Structure 1
Amino acid sequence: MISFLNGFILPALFAASIPILLHFLSRKKARKMPFSSIKFLKVIENQRIKRVKLYQFLLILVRTLFIVFLVIAFARPTVTSLLGNVSGNAQTTAVIIIDDSYSMQAFASSQTYMEIAKQQLSEIVAVFNTQDKVFLLSGFDKKPVLINSLNRDKSLKNIKPSNAVLNLERLLISADSLFTTHPNLNNELYILSDFKLTDHKPFAEYSFNSTPNFKAYKIDLAQEPSFKNVSIDSIVLNNQLIETGSTINISAYISNHDPQNKMETNLNLYNEDMRVAMSFVELQPGESKVVEIPFVPQKPGTHYLNLQIDEDDLFVDNKFYFSLFMKEKIKALFVSDLTADKISLATKVLSQNSLFDIDPKRQNEWPGTNLSLYDFVILNDFENTSEANIEKLGAYLKSGKSILVIPGEKLTVADYNNFFKKLESPVRFGKINSGGPNSFYSLENEKAANSIFDALFRDKKNPFSPPKIFRYYTQTGFDKSMINLSNRNTFLSKSGGLYVFSSAFSQNWSSFEINGLFLPLLYRSFYIAAQTKNPLSGSIVSGEAVVFNSDGINIENRFSIKPPNNSSISVIPKSMRNKLYFDGGIAVDPGFYLLMENQNVIGAIAANHSADELKKPFISSSSFEFDLKTLDSDKLNQQILNARTGFELWLVFLILALSMLLLEQVLIKRIEGLPLFG
């Protein structure tokens, strides 16, 4: 038995009569003309006329069949077998995967893809009867939802788009498990998606070969090839020093996901609700670029910032949240027995006139100090100390804090290297390089190479007057050189939280004490050493867990987490490895999640969309090991029923129609007496 998926096209079969009508309308009655009696020629003429009439009849037939076959091909005939009738009426286990990722919030004309998906899902669910097992899987719901006549409307209504990326691999694992635990004669998998999902790898493990009578279908919801969307993918801070009153350069990574059209948008930077900067952006089709935008913080504390671009087809990725934290005071421990030297005097000046609160201690005093009260420790020309004290400094480093070492005369190279080794640092001192009585070393005369001096020179035309270094330790094993000498050796190195100068600041080592860079160098070196934590807030992707960790707080206080919707979730901290952990559940909405202690904010995490979802190439039917057939959005229920009961013959009829075109050309050449080839 044959049925048609597009039966409304069948009335077009009346067009098959067109070749016959044209034949009769074009017939002409032969006129008799007198001619000499040539009997032999008349016999030949009669034979040729009969042959031409046969070819003409066949030509009419071929043209008629071409129209018939073409119309039938577009009507999509489906042949039904006895087995098809049995399986069509048998019980079915159906697993429907609905894409609820953030790209499903994009608009297609007046509706979002999610709204279209819910309408088509309703059509699919209507196909099944009460004996069938129909499960709904989505990215947001971790467990499958069994749909029946009682909860169908409620289940469909509860489907909402999430702001996360769809984990299709996890959903295929769940589908495989459902087919195993709920076997039926019919086993059907449906995937409703815009298929803007990055093709990381073929899903080779999920072939469903062991599932009997398995069929898989996809409903591609993307209606328009042109996807007018610009996204903010990520941000990067370009400054090493984040200071109040200084310009912070923010790099925003922006992408145009429209492969056909150029996009123009405005990039706006907001500090809470106030716009503080704007930049115009022009993107070519498919282009990604980095856009610089400045921000000048006017006060210390936390700045809750967000970047916004103009609205387009997809709103979710038009914003990017982040926060910057700048301490009002930075507390440092300065360990030195040289109370009258210039560096000790400089630390007093910094304590009185800057955000630094520097606490001086002699070498025999600091071991009794609680180091956790300080943001970093400065060791100036220190002496050998006990194993217990070195272990205390090592634990301080491992806690995420910093130590700044200024060498001097009291220790040998071997003593310094032994100290570094016990701190588990790779830094090592080599020999002392001396410039001689009339020679010296200078800092590298390229400010760009010494990022610690950035912004010290407002007028770049002014000459750079570096101090003179007479002696210094060569260094090896460090992670990064913060300041270089003119011979490319390091003057200040960084290895983890350990910062090490190569030279002392006394007059027999360098001329820093009388150079105008002395105080700015100390200020910026101290500032960098104090920034043990990223000034950016913690950042997660929507759909991930909101987890805070903290130390130094009173566990008896009341704690809560405030999500972007301004509700409040009470939390009880859990102790682990000398830290307190706060579990805030899953980040559903993009925005700021704040950890509150007695109504005071003590932590912030910014949740944003994941840029991975819209990275090409996207998945296609070839990404799957199983046969994934495409269903049209029109008459889904009829297509599903026909697919259960038989197979389509449209390709067969299309081939027959093309064959009729070829045969027509052969007959025309026969009638005209022309050769078939040539």
Structure 2
Amino acid sequence: MFTFLHSFFAWALLAASIPLLIHLLTRKKLKTVAFSTLFFLKKMQKAKIRQIRLKQIVLLLLRTLIVLFIALAFMRPTVKTSGYEFGKKAKTTAVFIIDNSLSMAATSQGESLLTRAKRKAIAAISLLEKGHDVAIIELAEPARIVLATTYNGNDARLSSVIQEIKQTASGSSLFSAVQNAFEFIAGKKNLNSTVFVFSDRKFPALPEENIAGFDRTHFFFFDVGLEKIHNLTVTEAELQNQIFELRGVVGVQARIVNTGDFDEINRIVTLSVNNKRVAQSSLTLEQGAEKAVDFKFVPAETGLHQLNIEVENDQLKLDNNAFCLFSISEKTRVLILDSNKKQSRFIKYVLEKKGKANQFEITEIKPDGLSNTDLTNFDVLISCNVAAFSDIDLRRLEIFVRDGGGLVVFLGDDVDFRNYETTIFQRFHIGSVLETFGSTLEKTEIIRLGDFDFHHPLFSGIFNEPEKQQRIDSPVFHFAPKMLPNPDSRVLMNYSNGSPLLLENKLGVGVVFTNLTSVDESWSDFSYKPIFAPIIDRMVRLAGQHGRNEFASMEVGKPAVTRLRGESSASFSLKNPLGITMFLKPVVDDGKFKFQLADTRFSGFYQLFENENIRYTWASNFNVQEMQSKPVPQEELRDFLPDANITMVSRQQNGNETVTEQQFGTEIWHLFLLAALIGLFVEMLLYRSKPIAVEN
């Protein structure tokens, strides 16, 4: 179909009549006068007269066509290739999807890809007409509509919204962004729709589920990516310790991948703790290679430690960091339940020995005092030979563990196995006692230690080479129960007959260690063996540090939730990694304040404050898939959007011209202008040509 983009220039077609008017106005009617000396002109042949008249007609026609072609060229004629109706002919929905995900932070000559995308998006505003419905969507996860309006010709407003889009460390979410676009387009019900996507197209694997319904929608993917960059990505920062002590060595391992296109030589990697540099290393990495970098340092103070592993600047700075957290308590608060202090004396001796007396705060009560004790004042509860638990006590213990407390259970002569079977063992999914063997009276050797789970942090540092066969001074057990462990239980130690001796169960954010033996010498000589002290020490530390730390890790762009106890009159606020503070209004949930973080699109540390005190901290790290993704090819995009018309706009193309050609057709104004120039040249030659002589 033939159409014009600037049809308002149609009035210029009237100029084509100018040559004809000039010709008519300049014609003169000559008066016949007899002149004898020119009598010989009567002999001019009729052919000569016809030639002159024909030349005049051709010149008139050429001049008319020249003016006509010039006027048509100004009207920008196009040959339409589709049934798309745009501009004033039909109301249109236009959606701008701008990629502000992690990979768009890459820079070239001082300009980031996001800045480039914004510039192209602002330029595309000129394609809009008044009355078009417009939406602007951020592509970074979670994708969201930042503006939905009807275009009134105010380019400044749209430009301002686009310029205010911030760079994030989130992964890209094309699926969510396209869904938002689909809902916006469907709600407007306009005849046509156009979606402009400004991105480097580094989308993680597209879902198998496609999005249909874009049969009258044209997608334009503007490529703003870089061909080659220098880039190292810190994919992970992992603590090598499970137990953290003041002036104890802490190990940290960082994994670094060369996601760029060049080999990197002698790049500096640093470890900072609470914004202080404590270690440094150099790194050489080939293109596409991955390497682990290990650091060690000694913490000199208690409290929360925020770790930041960073490589030196390259073309993409946002993936140069990885973050993690740990905390060192001033003291681990331990509550011991023991009816006669017969067993607890061995445990207290281990925890109170020289060098550790200031690390544990021990409170000892009898089992009947449990109901009057506030468990929130303790980190670990050790049950020694407690005969039975009431339903109320069991409920309080469950809440204690779910909230992050550690429970350590030892059996004894007073234990009622029937009660434990329906209370402790069942409530915490530990297992079921099948039978007992041996006797506490005869004290004969019936069994010894069996296998260990050396991969568990409980045994880290106790054995020098856990992979090799260990020679352990094994205790002699006179009496032991045989248990069938629950599938949720992790068996850490076995008896020599394969029956569990020590089990670990996790509940909520807390942990339960169940020792199927007693500390009393009537059951075994375990408390007199060298292995006893380090196992008890590490078990109590692990139980105390497992869930009481008020911090967590999360992925950038994903929601984060925590529940805390607090004062009803307290004021809560959140400080994000950019240093921006915002007030939070918690929701009361099961007697606690529930906090949910929705906007987590930056990597670093998020801190939750109660009044002026830090109550909770999150370490936020990006999804490495974003940096390991390659640009999605056009074929996959067509499979993802089967009904849409898709056009790829390369970095070298003029985006607006490409969009115009696809929507309105191919412009052919240059052909009309060329025809006008040719006509001028022919007219000049014809006008200057001499008449052909006619023979007598």
Provide the TM-score with structure 1 as the length reference: 0.75
**Matches of 1:441 and 1:618, distance apart in 2:** 62
- C-alpha spacing 1:618/1:223, structure 2 compared with 1 (3 Å): closer
Q: Would the alpha carbon gap of residues 148 and 543 (structure 1) be closer, same or farther in structure 2, given more than 3 Å must change?
A: farther
Q: Deviations over 1:168-227 (max 9, x none)?
A: 222212222333333445422221100111123256123412x3xx32221111231x34
> 1:445·1:464 contact (CA, 8 Å) conserved in 2?
no
Give the alignment partner of residue 505 of structure 2, picking from 495, 518, 524. Answer: 495
Tell me the alpha carbon deviations over residues 104-140 of structure 1, each in whole angstroms, 9 at most, x when there is no partner.
1101344211121122223222223334344322236
Pair 1:326 & 2:328 matched: yes
> How far apart are 1:312 and its partner, in Å?
1.5
Paired residue for 2:649, among 631, 653, 657?
631
Residue 115 of structure 1 aligns to a residue whose secondary structure is: helix
- Please provide the CA RMSD for this pair: 3.5
Stretch deviating more after TM superposition (433-442 or 450-459): 433-442
Alpha carbons of 1:621 and 1:595: their partners in 2 closer, same or farther (altered >3 Å)?
A: same
SS in 2 for 1:607: strand
- Describe the shift of the 1:143–1:115 C-alpha distance in structure 2 as closer, same or farther (beyond 3 A): closer
The 1-side partners of 2:445 and 2:667 are apart by 91
User: 1:34-87 CA distances to partner (integer Å, 9 max, x unpaired)?
Assistant: xxxxxxxxxxxxxxxxxxxxxxxxxxxxxxxxxxxxxxxxxxxx9714977975
Q: How far 1:641 moved relative to its partner?
A: 1.8
Deviations 1:129-179 (A, max 9, x none): 334344322236534343553223323332332332232222212222333
CA-to-aligned-CA distance 1:625-676 (integer Å, 9 cap, x gap):
2332112343222222222233699xxxxxxxxxxxxxxxxxxxxxxxxxxx
Structure 2 CA distance, aligned partners of 1:85 and 1:189?
14
Cα distance in structure 2, aligned partners of 1:366 and 1:162: 50
Q: Which moved more, 1:530-539 or 1:586-595?
A: 530-539
**Number of the residue aligned with 2:524:** 510
Distance 1:192 1:412, change over 3 A: same
1:308 corresponds to which of 307, 310, 314:
310
CA contact (8 A) 1:467 1:510 kept: no
2:530 partner amino acid:
G
1:622-661 alignment, distance < 5 Å: 622-623=635-636, 624=640, 625=642, 626-633=644-651, 634-646=653-665
Would the alpha carbon gap of residues 602 and 621 (structure 1) be closer, same or farther in structure 2, given more than 3 Å must change?
Answer: same
Question: Which residue number corresponds to residue 111 of structure 1?
Answer: 111
Question: Which AA in structure 2 matches 1:228?
Answer: H
Report whether the alignment pairs 1:268 with 2:270: yes
**Equivalence for 1:481:** 491
Q: Which runs of 5+ in 2 are unaligned?
A: 4-76, 669-696
Please state whether the residue corresponding to 1:142 is helix, strand or coil: strand
**Residue of 216, 219, 237 corresponding to 2:219:** 216
What is the SS of the residue equivalent to 1:176?
Answer: helix
> What's the secondary structure of 2:367's corresponding residue?
coil
Choose 615-624 or 309-318, whichever is displaced more. 615-624
3-state secondary structure, aligned to 1:353 = coil
Q: CA deviation at 1:568?
A: 3.4
What is the count of residue pairs matched by the alignment? 570
Provide the residue aligned with 2:408 in structure 1: 404
SS in 2 for 1:137: strand
Distance 1:409 1:117 in 2: 74
Judged with a 3 Å threshold, the aligned counterparts in structure 2 of structure 1 residues 171 and 572 are, in CA distance, closer, same or farther, namely closer
After superposition, the Cα gap between the structure-2 partners of 1:107 and 1:488, relative to the gap in structure 1 and judged at 3 Å, is farther
Q: Which amino acid aligns with 1:629?
A: T
Mapped contact 2:352–2:360 kept (Cα < 8 A): no
| 2:251 matched residue in structure 1 | 249
* 371, 382, 395: which one aligns with 2:386: 382
Partners of 1:463 and 1:153 in 2: CA distance? 70
Q: 1:168 aligns with which of 174, 198, 210?
A: 174
Cα pair distance change 1:263/1:90, threshold 3 Å: farther
Aligned residue in 2 for 1:40: none
What is residue 343 of structure 1 aligned with on the other side? 346
1:466 lines up with 2:466 in the alignment: no
Partner amino acid for 1:256?
Answer: N
Equivalence for 2:607: 594
Deviation at 1:444, TM superposition (A): 5.2
Q: Deviations over 1:321-369 (max 9, x none)?
A: 2221122122122111222554265267369714221211123333322
1:189 aligns with 2:195: yes
Among candidates 352, 355, 358, match of residue 359 of structure 2 = 355
SS at match of 1:126: helix
Tell whether 2:544 aligns with 1:537: no
Q: Secondary structure at the match of 2:493?
A: strand
| Corresponding residue to 1:154 among 131, 151, 160 | 160
562, 584, 591: which one aligns with 1:571 = 584
Task: Give the AA of the match of 1:318.
Answer: N
| Aligned mate of 1:620, from 611, 617, 633 | 633
